[in-house]
Structure 1
Amino acid sequence: MLETAALWGFTGSTMTSLMFFWAMYKQFFPYHLRATMERYVLKLMVWVSNSVHVKFNEYTGEGLKRSEAHDSIRNYLSSKSTASAKRLKANETQNSKSLVLSLDDHEVIEDVFDGVKVKWSSSVTKSEKKSGSNDERRYLTLSFQNRHREMITKTYLDHVLREGKEIGLKNRERKLYTNNKNMWSAWREGLTWCSVPFNHPATFETLAMDPQKKEGIKKDLIKFSKGESYYKKVGKPWKRGYLLFGPPGTGKSTMISAMANFLEYDVYDLELTTVIDNSDLKRLLLDTKGKSIIVIEDIDCSLGLTGQKRKKKEEEEEEEEDEGEEERKRKVERLLHEDRDRSKVTLSGLLNAIDGLWSACSDEKIMVFTTNFVDKLDPALIRRGRMDNHIEMAYCRFEAFKVLAKNYLEVESHDLYGEIERLLEETDMTPADVAENLMPKSEEEDADVCLKRLVESLEEEKEKARKLAEEEEKKKANKKVKKKNKKPEEAEIDETLSDVNVAKHVIEAIMLARK
Structure 2
Amino acid sequence: MFPEMFAHYGSMIGGLMVLRAMVQQYLPAQLRNLVDRYVHKWMSLFDPHIQISFLEFTGQRMRSSEAYTAIENYLTKNVTSVAKRLKADSVKDSRSLVLSMDDYEEVTDEYKGAKVRWFLNRVSSKSSSVSMYGATEPPRYYTLTFHRKNRELIMQSYIRHVLTEGKAIASKNRQRKLYTNDPLYSRWNHVVFEHPATFETLAMDLDKKREIMNDLMKFTQRKEYYAKIGKAWKRGYLLYGPPGTGKSTMISAMANFLNYDVYDLELTAVKNNTELRRLLIETSSKSIMVIEDIDCSLDLTGQRKEGGDDNGGKDKSLVKKLTLKEKKKSSEVTLSGLLNFIDGIWSACGGERIIVFTTNHLDKLDPALIRRGRMDKHIEMSYCSYEAFKVLARNYLNIDDHPLYETIGLLFDKTNMTPADVAENLMPKSDDEDVEVCLRNLIQALEAVKEKAKKKAEEEAQAKAMRERQEKSPKWWRMSEKWAGSLLKKRR
TM-score normalised according to structure 2 size: 0.82
Of residues 246-255 and 146-155 in structure 1, the stretch that sits farther from structure 2 once superposed is 146-155
CA distance in 2, matches of 1:23, 1:303: 58
- Cα deviations across residues 153-205 of structure 1 (Å, max 9, x unaligned)? 11111111111111111111110011044xxxxx7x46x21110011100000
Distance 1:467 1:271, change over 3 A: same
Once the two structures are superposed, residues 129-152 of structure 1 have per-residue CA deviations (whole angstroms, 9 ceiling, x without a partner) of 279974522211111122221111
| Contact 2:393/2:399, CA 8 A, preserved across alignment | yes
Shift of 1:446: 0.7
Q: Where does residue 214 of structure 1 map in the other structure?
A: 209
Which amino acid is the alignment partner of residue 205 of structure 1? E
SS state of the match for residue 415, structure 1? Answer: coil
The code of the aligned residue for 2:63 comes to K
Q: Residues of 2 paired with 1:356 and 1:410: CA distance?
A: 47
Are 2:114 and 1:116 equivalent residues in the alignment?
A: yes
Does residue 159 of structure 2 align to residue 157 of structure 1? yes
Query: What is the aligned counterpart of 1:260 among 255, 262, 271?
Result: 255
Matched, 1:241 2:239: no
- Flag the 1:424–1:117 CA change in 2: closer, same or farther, 3 A: same
Structure 2 distance, partners of 1:140, 1:22, is 26
Q: Residue 81 of structure 1: which of 79, 94, 102 is its match?
A: 79
TM alignment of 1:57-456, pairs within 5 A: 57-125=55-123, 126=125, 127=128, 128-129=130-131, 134=136, 136-181=138-183, 189=185, 192-307=187-302, 335-456=323-444
Deviation at 1:55, TM superposition (A): 1.1
Letter in 1 for 2:113: G
Q: Hey, what's the Cα distance between the residues in 2 that align with 1:340 and 1:371? A: 27
Compared with structure 1, are the counterparts of its residues 430 and 44 closer, same or farther at alpha carbon in structure 2 (3 Å cutoff)? Answer: farther
The 1:441–1:149 alpha-carbon spacing in structure 2 relative to 1, beyond 3 Å, is same
**Separation in 2 of the partners of 1:33 and 1:100?**
46
Q: Could you tell me the percent identity over the aligned residues?
A: 56
Distance 1:232 1:294, change over 3 A: same
CA distance in 2, matches of 1:138, 1:105: 8
Distance 1:333 1:297 in 2: 22
**1:52 CA drift (Å):** 1.2
Q: Aligned partners of 1:43, 1:99: CA distance in 2, in Å?
A: 43
SS in 2 for 1:142: strand
The Cα RMSD (Å) is 2.8
Post-superposition offset of 1:337: 4.0
Q: Measure, in 2, the Cα distance between the counterparts of 1:372 and 1:22.
A: 66
- Residues 300, 35 of structure 1: CA spacing in aligned structure 2 closer, same or farther, 3 A cutoff? farther
Q: CA deviation at 1:102?
A: 1.4
Amino acid at match of 2:360: N
Shift, 1:93, TM fit:
2.5
* In structure 1, C-alpha distance between the alignment counterparts of 2:136 and 2:31, rounded to whole Å: 22
SS of the residue aligned with 1:437? helix
Summarize deviations over 1:354-405 as a string: whole Å, max 9, x none: 1011111211111111111111111111111111111110000100000000
Shift of 1:307: 3.2
- Please identify, of 204-213 and 65-74, the stretch whose mean Cα deviation from structure 2 is larger: 65-74
Choose 167-176 or 90-99, whichever is displaced more: 90-99
- SS at 1:110 equivalent: strand
2: CA distance between counterparts of 1:180 and 1:89? 24
Matched residues in 2 for 1:285 and 1:172: separation? 21
Distance 2:134 2:21 in 1: 25
Cα distance between partner residues in 1 of 2:137 and 2:29: 18
Structure 2 Cα separation of the partners of residues 370 and 113 of structure 1? 52
Question: Does the 8 Å contact 1:87/1:107 carry over to 2?
Answer: yes
Distance 1:279 1:55 in 2: 29
Q: Is the 8 A contact 1:46 1:52 kept in 2?
A: no
2:429 aligns to what SS in structure 1?
A: coil
CA separation in 2, counterparts of 1:195 and 1:480?
58
Quote the Cα distance in structure 1 between the aligned partners of 2:31 and 2:410.
83
Q: Distance in 2 between matches of 1:24 and 1:246?
A: 70
Counterparts of 1:239 and 1:130 in 2: how far apart (Å)? 30
Rate the CA distance shift 1:35–1:292 in 2: closer, same or farther, 3 A.
Answer: farther
Please state whether the residue corresponding to 2:167 is helix, strand or coil: helix
Aligned counterparts of 2:132 and 2:355: Cα–Cα separation in 1: 34
Once the 2 structures are TM-superposed, how far is the Cα of residue 94 of structure 1 from its aligned partner? Answer: 4.0
What secondary structure does 1:344 align onto? coil
CA contact (8 A) 1:94 1:173 kept: no
- Deviations 1:307-344, CA, capped at 9 Å, x for gaps: 39xxxxxxxxxxxxxxxxxxxxxxx9964444433211
Task: Provide structure 2 residue ranges, at least 5 long, that are not aligned to the other structure.
Answer: 1-16, 304-319, 480-492
Instruction: Give yes or no for contact 2:23–2:32 (8 Å, CA) kept in 1.
Output: no
Instruction: Describe the SS at the equivalent of 2:235.
Output: strand
Distance 1:426 1:35, change over 3 A: farther
* Aligned-residue offset at 1:120: 0.9
Within 2, Cα distance between the matches of 1:333 and 1:23?
Answer: 60
Q: How many residues align?
A: 438
Distance 1:172 1:90 in 2: 18
CA contact (8 A) 1:93 1:173 kept: no
